[in-house]
Structure 1
Amino acid sequence: MLDLPIDLPEFLPGSVWLAGAGPGDPGLLTLLALHAIKSAEVVIHDALVDGRILALIPAAAEIESMGKRGGEASVRQAEITARMIHLAKAGKRVLRLKGGDPFVFGRGPEEALALAGAGVPFRIVPGITAGIGGLAYAGIPVTAKETNSAVAFVTGHGPDGEMPDAFDWDALARGAPVLVFYMGLKHLERLTSRLMAAGRRPDEAAALVCNAATERQSVLETTLAEAAGAVERAGLKPPALFVVGQVVALRRQLDWWRG
């Protein structure tokens, strides 16, 4: 479907592709994801897929929005999975299009396991995860030679919407100079308190990146101790990434994005 000097796999009828759409900017789509978008007969997308990417879907394809957003009424996961299986068994080419990467803090593994259990052929199409691509658009590298040789990616809430309490917070605080939290806005005050109690400095550089790599991107630089209050005063809303560590200071020189 794409005029490219490479061979791309055929999107076979009766199969499902679980594809990552990246953090927002359509230019961050992989060639394989774009091939899937142009080849699919049904696209089931989540709430974080940028509208400019949805605009790439051919008019002949069916589009079903099944986004799940915390705190809002949304389609149950079991319904999404059942719908994919039903469409695939009806012989459709089904694209499950997810923001970021389907296997990074998403329900991609759960959906793939359900497809496998139902005997439905599937393919995983990785995408650029927001914790890397989204921070790059904010001018914040996840690693830099002069600051860190390790980074930890952490979810800010579990499947039940609550902050995970199974973390070894002491080990997390000590284990990586840079911490990147997905979906951490809701529990930011508790999260920052736990990190400081575990030994992270209150004046450590931190940043919130909202709507990363989209036309609505905004970045708030702060400190670990002041983050929760700064977010409340600014009225920031999800989706947002929370990053802690010296890499935030590099944004002064690396802030290239202007919308």
Structure 2
Amino acid sequence: MTTGKAYLVGAGPGDIGLITVKGLEAIQRAEVILYDRLANPKLLDFAPPNCEFIYCGKLPDRHTLRQEKINELLVEKTAAGKIVVRLKGGDPGVFGRVGEEAEALAKNGLSFELIPGITSGIAAPLYAGIPVTHREYGESFAIVTAHDKSKDGKSTLNWEGLAKGIDTIAFYMGVGNLSHICTNLLSHGKPSSTPVTLIQWGTFGRQKTLEGTLETIVQRVEEEKFTNPAITLVGNIASLREKISWFEKKPLFGRQILLPRTGLNTSNLAKALEEQGADVIEFPKWKRVKITPDRLILSKLSMYSSIIFTSPESVEEFFQILIEEKIDIRSIQADLYGMSQKSVNQLLNKGLLAEPTEKLRKGGTILLIGSSNNIEETSQNVLNFGNFETFTTSIKEVDETYLPIFKRMLDDSKLNTVIFPSSASVPILIKALEKTDSLTTDMLKELEIYCFGNQTMNALLAHEILGAEQTKEATIPSLLLSLAKKSDS
């Protein structure tokens, strides 16, 4: 029987930009991905269509899958000839039990690779403005687990060596045992004034930092109701945070944004928001189903006076169809329009001048191009401009395998903002939310709402979603400016 190969991959601490190139390449080839709670689910977007996802999340009080079952699944899927990725938060070799999983694969004679990742004990402090070593403050650094296999889960460590011999210590998942940690460090000679910094959800836009000392931090955690996942950093090097904190100063830091996804891929808007420090959840996730093109429409392309593209993807799909059907683009004599600025920009990238549909003139023969659901959602708007025909490039369906992933993302975040980039995004999101009980339309109305353009505002009003703030211009820079001003106020 043909055997596959397993890749035991470090996903990094949260920010998906911190995964290694080699780790990302493994995800892009995967046929099965077993992923942990602390591996950012957005990384699954890079997996091929029809990849099987298996959640292996663990919480201190409950495990979705026991470690023995995870080992069995790794062996079973790899032995079945699959390319298997075991996606683990941070670095798989740092308290990730990768040794046990690799042993199970090796014992069964299966091929595997270990791909390191950036560990949270280094990345989270850096995102909080604290390097873990510095010539003036700390030349030694230790990574320590705050839990072990003992009956009470309290680590039996060389506390004297840690207290007297190590300048900076990063405790993983240390909130539950924080009192135990502080008591032992104090009793073994660490000064009570030693700074302690807790970093929750490090490298995410929802990162939260709590500062204190060995004497005060336990009370502070109780007062703030601070919880895992968090890194507990002990050491004088924390004094650098005041000088070089950078991530938490980004203009959109703290924004937890829901962004309706109308296309197949991560949008440029999502990337721009994340670059400014926001956490962005794009929903829903789509899958494309190809269909046989309408050759009658293709045979009379020269007859249309106006052609409207409903999405950026419809541009790509349409011109791919022209290539496959060997149709010369010069047969198109029509004026070109996009239902959104993104669609207009996609046409411009093809070297074709286009304008938004607001500038469409009445009369003439109109062709509306897009996926089946985009045409359905936008055709009513086109009626205002006269008679039209439609050309369906594909059927786009909500990928329901991502619904439980979406729920987990919502459970770990606290949404405060929703952005509607186009009129089509309004019914798309409302309809998609019906497939999940994690977020209702009424809950949506409690968030800060932003939208692009008059058509999008009208679509919101039609669905009784009030109070949206419309950007001055239907552009990403205009939106970023509005969000940043609101965050500062």
- Do they superpose with TM above 0.5? yes
Aligned to 2:436: none
Amino acid at match of 1:42: V
Aligned to 1:187: 177
Contact in 2 for aligned 1:13/1:93 (Cα 8 Å): no
Does residue 1:162 correspond to 2:116, yes or no?
no
Deviation at 1:150, TM superposition (A): 0.6
Contact in 2 for aligned 1:14/1:88 (Cα 8 Å): yes
Task: Provide, for residues 53-75 of structure 1, a one-character-per-residue CA deviation record: whole Å limited to 9, x for no partner.
Answer: 23322332111101122112431
Cα separation, 2, equivalents of 1:170 and 1:24: 33
Cα separation, 1, equivalents of 2:76 and 2:245: 46
* Mapping 1:1-259, distance limit 5 Å: 14-159=4-149, 162-165=153-156, 167-258=157-248, 259=253
Identify unmatched segments of 5+ residues in structure 2: 254-489
Task: Provide, for residues 78-112 of structure 1, a one-character-per-residue CA deviation record: whole Å limited to 9, x for no partner.
Answer: 00000010001100000000000000111111111
Alpha-carbon RMSD: 1.4
Q: Give the share of equivalent positions with the same residue, in percent.
A: 38
Contact in 1 for aligned 2:186/2:192 (Cα 8 Å): yes
Cα separation, 2, equivalents of 1:95 and 1:218: 30
Cα separation, 1, equivalents of 2:23 and 2:158: 36
Contact in 2 for aligned 1:192/1:224 (Cα 8 Å): yes
Contact in 2 for aligned 1:24/1:49 (Cα 8 Å): yes
Amino acid at match of 2:205: E
Cα separation, 1, equivalents of 2:161 and 2:236: 19
Identify unmatched segments of 5+ residues in structure 1: 1-11
Deviation at 1:51, TM superposition (A): 2.5
Deviation at 1:121, TM superposition (A): 0.7
Aligned to 1:6: none
Aligned to 2:390: none
Aligned to 2:355: none
Cα separation, 1, equivalents of 2:28 and 2:139: 39
Q: Which moved more, 1:195-204 or 1:55-64?
A: 55-64
Task: Name whichever structure is richer in helix by fraction.
Answer: 2
Deviation at 1:206, TM superposition (A): 1.0
Residue correspondences, number: 247
Q: Which moved more, 1:67-76 or 1:117-126?
A: 67-76
Cα separation, 2, equivalents of 1:50 and 1:195: 33
Deviation at 1:13, TM superposition (A): 5.9
Find the residue that maps to 2:46 and give its secondary structure: coil
Amino acid at match of 2:46: L
Find the residue that maps to 1:114 and give its secondary structure: helix
Contact in 2 for aligned 1:50/1:214 (Cα 8 Å): no
Cα separation, 1, equivalents of 2:87 and 2:12: 10
Deviation at 1:134, TM superposition (A): 1.5
Find the residue that maps to 1:16 and give its secondary structure: strand
Task: Provide, for residues 12-60 of structure 1, a one-character-per-residue CA deviation record: whole Å limited to 9, x for no partner.
Answer: 9611000000000011010001101100000000110112223322332
Distance 1:110 1:201, change over 3 A: same
